[in-house]
Amino acid sequence: MILTTKHYCFLFSLFFILGLKAQNKEKAILLKDILSIISEQHSVTFNYIEEEIAVFKIIPPDSDVSLKVKLKYISDKTLLKFEYISDKYIAIVNNQNLDKPLCGFLYDKETKEPIENATILIKNTINYAISDASGYFELKIKSANDVEISHLNYKKKLVQSASLYVENCPEIYIERIINDLNSIVLQEYLTKGIEKKKDGTFEINPKKKGLLPGLTEPDVFQTLQQIPGINTSDEIISNISVRGGTHDQNLFLWNGIQLYQTGHFFGLISALNPNLAHKITFSKNGTSAFFGNSVSSTVLISTHTDSIEKTTGAIGLNLINGDFYTKIKTSNKSNIEISGRRSYTDFITSPTYRNYYNKIFQNTIVTNSLDNQNIPFNAKEDFYFYDFTLQYHQKIKKNTNLFIDILSISNVLDISQSKTENNNVTTRNSCLEQQTYGANASLHTKWNSKNSSEISFYTSYYNISSENEAIESNQIFNQENTVLDTGIKIENTHDINSNFTFYNGYQFNEIGVRNIDAVNSPIFYRKIKEVIREHALIATLKYNSKNNKLTSKIGIRQNYIDTFNTFIFEPRLQFNYSILPSLNLEILGERKHQTISQIIDLQQDFLGLEKRRWILSNNDNIPIIKSNQASLGFSFSKRNWLITLDNFYKKVEGITTNSQGFQNQFEFVKTSGNYLVYGSEFLIQKKYDPITVWVSYAFSENNYEFNTLIPSTFANNFEIKHTLKSALITDLNNLKLALGTIWFSGKPFTGVMQSVPENTEILYLDPNSLNLENYFQLNFSGSYMFSFGKNSKIDVGFSMQNILNTQSTINQHYRINNNANSVEKVNTFSLERTPNAFIRFYF
C-alpha cells in the first residue's frame, strides 16, 4: 500500500491528538503529594514548613529520571531551593522570605487605573477578599487552589495561587466588560474617558481620558469644546457658547459650589486645576430637575469618592505654571485632598506666555493706552494667577460620608505706564484683581438598600475690581463687581422597585450682587446692590424597563422667587429607547430660567479684559431669562463604528442688548428681546485599535428678535452656522498622540459705509449683515509615560496649537480716531502658533 499525502496528514493528526490526550492525563497535583512520592522512590526525607509549600500545585516530574533532575524540575517550577543535610535528609528552603499572605494589585487593563470592590475568591472554598481603592487585596489563608477574580464591570479571571505568593505583590490586569454597562449608550466618545449616558449627559473622567489635539492637560472647558454644538469663536474658554447661548447662561458647579469665574489668564486657561482626580458631567438638554438658574448647559465637576483612598500625589510643570496635588489618608475613615497651582509668568517669560499675552491683551488698555504716537510711551505689565483647593472626607459609620470643600481662585494684573513729554516723565499705575472663594459641606447617607439622602450647604463669593489711572490726565476710574451666593440643597432617592426610582428634594439660594463705579474727575460715584431669594421643590420619576431597552426620566421643578412673588414651573424630560441593540433613539426636553446674567456697560470696563459684570434681574427692564428646548437624536454603535445625530430647537427669552456685547449701532441701546436657534449636530467615529478617528459637523441657524430695534430680526452675535472638527488619536501602551483640526464659518459682524471727513461719524450697514473670514486651526499633542516602582510614574508631553500659524480674524469693529479724524477698523486676531510642554511626576 502506498501512503499518499492525505494519509500522512491523517496519521500526523492522529498522533498529535493522542499526544494531547496523553498530556491531559498528567494533571497538576499538590507539591506535598509529589514530595511524598519522591521520598518513597528514592528513600529520602524532606524537611520543610508546610505553609510555605501549600500554594504549589504542579505536574509531577517523570518517574524514571534521577532524583537530581526531579529536584531541579521542582525548583524551576516553584523557585524553592533544596539543600542536602545528608544523603537521606533534604531541607526545602524558600529564599524569598515569604512570611506573608497571598496578595496582589488589580488594575484596569486599558486605563491602568486601580480597580476597587473586586471579589477575589479561592476556588472551592469560602475564603475571599475585596480589593480596596488602590486595587490591593490579600487572602488570609494559603491554598493551592486557583484564585478567581470577579467584578461587575470586568471579565472574570483565574490566576494560580502560587503567582500571588511572591516577594512583591504582583500587578494583575483585567479587561472591562463594555456591553454590560447598561447606563452607558456610548462607551468611548471622541477619546478614552468620555462616555455618553442614557440620560443624555456626557461623563468625562480626566484621569482616564486620552489626549485631545492641542492640549497638554485634561482642561475641563477646553475638553468640552470638542463635543459637537459647543464653540468659542474667540478662543476664550470663558466665552463658551452652547447651542448659540452666551457663557453666563451655562451653570458651572464645582463640588456643589457655583462658579462665577471659570478662567485664568482672562479666559485662556481653566480656573480649575486640570490634574485633580475628578469627574465631569455635562448636559446640553434634558437637565436634571435638581439644577436651575441657567438657560443653557449644565457642567458638574466633582472630586468626591465613596471610598477612603490611599495616599497619592503628583507634581507638574508646564510653560505657564507649576502645580501639585496630594491625597493623604489620615485614618481608615478619613482623608484630606489638597491641590494648588500658580503661574510663574511674573518671573519668567516663556514663548507660551508671550503668545498668550499677544492674544489676550490686544485692543485693550494694556496695549492701546495712548493714541498720540508722537509722545514716547512705555508700558510694563506684571501678571500671575493661582488656584487652591482643599477637601476633607470623613466616613461616619458604614454608609454615611461627610465632605467639606474649600476653593480659592485668583488673577492679579498690575500695569505701569509712563510717557516722556517736554523732558518730564509721567508714570501711572493701573491694576485688576479677580478672585473667587467658595465652600461646601455635604452629608451623604444611605439609610437602607432602597433609600438614601444628601444635604449640602454652600457659599460662593466672586469679586472683580480694577483701578485705571489715565496716563493722559489725572483721572482715576475705580470699578468693582461682587457676587455672594449662598444656598442649601436636600435630595432624597427612593428605589420603589427594580423598574422605578423616585427622587425628590428642596433647594434654597440667596444671591446678592453689588456694582460700584467711581471717578475722581469729574467726581462720580455709583453703588448698586440687589438681592434675590429663590426656593425650589423638585420631583423626578425614573423608569427603566426590565429588558433595559427603555430608560426615561420625567421631572418637575417648581420655583418660587419671593423677591418678585413669582412662581415658575419647569418640566424636564429624558427618554432613551433601544430600537435595535446597536441603535438608540433619544428625546430630551426642558424649560429653565435664570435671574443672574452678565452685561457690558462699556467695552473698556475693567481695563477691557474682563469687561462683563454680573447683574440681577429686576423683573422690569432686566427680565428673568427663560428658555425652552427640545431635541431628537439617534446613536448607532457597532463594530467600532459610532454615528450620532442630534436635531435641536431652542428659544431663550428675556435677554438684554447689553448682555450680548454689541459693538455696532446698538452698543448703547438698552432693550430686551429673545433669540431662536435650531440646528443639527453629527458625529462619525471609527476605532482601529489603538487608533481612533472621528469627524463632527454642526449646523445652526441663530437669530435675534428685538421688537424695539430696526430691523427687529437679525443674526445672533454668537451664530456659527457651520462647524467642522476632526481628530486622529492613538493610544499605544504609554504613548499617546493626537492630531486634529477645527474649522468654522466666520461669525456675523456689522460693516460700515464710507464716512464724511468733515463730520466724522460711523455709518453702519444693517446689523450683522456680513460675516468674518472662516476660521481654521491644526493642533497636535503627544505624551509618553514612564513607570517605575509600584505606583510611581513620570508623564512628559508636548503640544502645538495652530501648527500652520494661520491668522484668522475673530472679531472686527469700528471706532473713531479723533487724532486722525477718521473711522478706523479694529481687528482681533486668533492665537499664534503656540508650543507648550509639560512634565508630571506621580507618586
pLDDT in tens, 567-592: 999 999 999 999 998 899 999 999 99
- Residue scoring higher pLDDT (162 or 644): 644
Output Rg (C-alpha) for the chain, integer angstroms.
33
Mean per-residue pLDDT, 271-292: 89
pLDDT value at residue 737: 93
Query: CA triplet 703, 707, 708: central angle to 5 degrees?
Result: 125
DSSP secondary-structure letter at 615? E
Proportion of the chain above pLDDT 90, given as a percent = 52
Distance (Å, rounded) from C-alpha 585 to C-alpha 572? 17
All three cell numbers of 135, joined, read 486595587
Query: Is residue 2 predicted with pLDDT exceeding 90?
Result: no
Q: What is the pLDDT of residues 85-109, one digit of tens each?
A: 888 888 877 665 555 678 888 988 7
To 10 degrees, the CA torsion angle through 237, 243, 249, 250?
A: -60
Q: Are strands 312-318 and 321-331 parallel, antiparallel or unpaired?
A: antiparallel
Q: pLDDT-based confidence at 180, cuts 50/70/90?
A: very low
Average pLDDT over residues 680-697: 93
Angle between helices 31-42 and 67-78 (to 10 degrees): 170
Q: Which residues contact 130 (CB under 8 A, 6 or more apart)?
A: 117, 118, 119, 120, 137
DSSP 392: E
What one-character-per-residue DSSP string does 741-767 give?
Answer: EEEEPPPEE--BPPPPGGG----B-ST
Decide: 294 and 812 in contact? Cβ < 8 Å. Answer: no
Query: pLDDT category, 361, cuts 50, 70, 90?
Result: confident
Q: Is the pLDDT of residue 252 over 80?
A: yes
448/462: higher pLDDT:
462
- pLDDT above 50 (res 777): yes
8 A C-beta contact, residue 275 and residue 502: no
Query: How large is the average pLDDT for residues 384-404?
Result: 92
* Residue of 701, 837, 831 lying closest to 232 (CA atoms): 831
Determine contact, residues 607/428, Cβ cutoff 8 Å: no
In total, the chain counts a number of residues equal to 843
Give 196's strand partners.
186, 202
**CATH code for the part of the protein at 298-842:** 2.40.170.20
Within 10 Å of residue 97's Cβ, how many Cβ atoms? 7
Closest Cα to residue 608, out of 432, 762, 470?
432
Which one of 3.90.600.10, 2.60.40.1120, 3.40.1160.10, 2.60.40.180 gives the CATH number of domain 102-174? 2.60.40.1120
Q: Which amino acid is present at 792? A: S
Q: Where in the sequence of the chain do the CATH 3.55.50.30 domains occur? A: 27-93
Q: What is the pLDDT of residue 130?
A: 87
pLDDT band (50, 70, 90) for residue 209 = low
Q: Please enumerate in sequence order all residues whose Cβ is within 8 A of that of 565, keeping only pairs 6 or more positions apart, or say none.
A: none
Query: Is 139 buried (19+), middle (13-18) or exposed (0-12) by CB count in 10 A?
Result: buried
Longest alpha-carbon distance in the chain: 122
The grid coordinates listed for 456 are 449640602
Residues of the chain with CATH 2.40.170.20: 298-842
φ, ψ at 275 (rounded to 5°) = -100, 5
Q: What per-residue confidence (pLDDT) applies to 76?
A: 78
Position 349, amino acid: T
Q: Three-state DSSP class for 807?
A: coil
Q: Where in the chain is the domain with CATH 2.60.40.1120?
A: 102-174
Q: Which residues contact 696 (CB under 8 A, 6 or more apart)?
A: 228, 681, 682, 683, 684, 723, 724, 725, 726
Segment 112-125 mean pLDDT: 82
Residue 512: Cβ within 10 Å count: 15
Average pLDDT value for the chain: 86
Strands 89-93 and 45-47: parallel
User: What's the average model confidence in pLDDT over 516-544?
Assistant: 94
Q: Which CATH class is domain 27-93?
A: alpha beta
